[in-house]
């Protein structure tokens, strides 16, 4: 009987060791396998996933870039191309409701970034030096999901779209501009100053308030203002 227990114990130890070895090898696959590493990094790009499901052409372009990039540069290389695709989708393709949902998600991104004292990376992503991973570190999971859900809506819906002239300011924006001027004085101009603004935190506040005011407009005015605002203020940071 004692020998039987000994034999069972040895068999258990062997299987346990094999299982741990197999798990260890599995955990090492992304580091040792460039294809698995690439797929892992693509899977971490939150805003790429809606395109994978609903925009085959844009996703295929991302795959081609990933295939030609160095394994440690996949996410940043794809993000650069994805930035242009997302801008086209959000600024041009989206219907009014889609832009409304995206603007709500963008404001939440700004809230998270401001709390982390990283607002400039979101308020003016054109000048941001942050990698997608660095952005995900301070954006809440709920905010990332809200952004992906808004993008999914845009890719799967085609409703009414307000018509605005890019060089013609919507009448309702004039009221928002007045509110900003009353609240921030000359600092309201920071919304147009990009990286040259000296007080990035106050600049962030101005951008947030501009979108908050725009989102609070009556529906008949909101569509035009958001389309004009999103067409002039880049709201896409890839994470």
Residue 50, in any domain of the structure: yes
Evaluate whether 131 touches 196 at the Cβ level (below 8 Å): no
Using only C-alpha atoms, the chain has a radius of gyration, in whole angstroms, of 24
For 107-145, how does the pLDDT look when each residue is reduced to its tens digit (9 = 90+)?
Answer: 999 999 999 999 999 999 999 889 999 999 999 999 999
- The string of pLDDT tens digits covering residues 57-69 is 999 999 999 999 8
Residue 148 lies in a domain: yes
Is residue 219's pLDDT more than 60? yes
The answer to whether position 14 is within a domain reads no
111: in domain: yes
Closest CA to 59 of 73, 41, 71, 47: 47
Q: Domain of 183?
A: 34-232
Supply the pTM of this predicted model.
Answer: 0.85
What is residue 19's predicted lDDT score, i.e. its pLDDT? 46
Total domains in the chain come to 1
Is 19 among the domain residues?
A: no
Pick from 81, 86, 101: nearest CA to 55: 86
Inside any domain, residue 119: yes
């Amino acid at each position: 009987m004692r020998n039987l227990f000994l034999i069972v114990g040895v068999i258990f130890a062997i299987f346990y060791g094999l299982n741990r070895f197999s798990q260890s090898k599995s955990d090492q696959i992304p580091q040792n396998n460039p294809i698995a590493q690439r797929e892992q990094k693509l899977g971490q790009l939150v805003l790429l996933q809606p395109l994978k499901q609903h925009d085959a052409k844009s996703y295929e372009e991302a795959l081609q870039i990933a295939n030609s990039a160095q394994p440690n540069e996949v996410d940043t290389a794809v993000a650069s191309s994805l930035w242009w695709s997302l801008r086209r989708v959000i600024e041009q393709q989206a219907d009014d409701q889609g832009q409304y949902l995206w603007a709500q998600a963008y404001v939440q991104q700004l809230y998270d970034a401001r709390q982390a004292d990283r607002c400039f990376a979101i308020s003016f992503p054109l000048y941001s030096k942050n990698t997608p991973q660095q952005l995900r570190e301070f954006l809440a999971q709920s905010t990332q999901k809200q952004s992906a859900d808004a993008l999914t809506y845009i890719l799967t819906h085609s409703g009414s779209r307000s018509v605005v002239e890019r060089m013609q300011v919507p009448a309702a924006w004039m009221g928002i501009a007045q509110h900003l001027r009353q609240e921030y004085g000359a600092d309201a101009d920071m919304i147009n100053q990009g990286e040259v603004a000296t007080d990035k935190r106050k600049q962030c506040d101005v951008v947030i308030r501009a979108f908050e005011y725009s989102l609070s407009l009556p529906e008949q005015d909101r569509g035009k203002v958001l389309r004009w605002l999103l067409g002039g203020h880049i709201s896409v940071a890839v994470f």
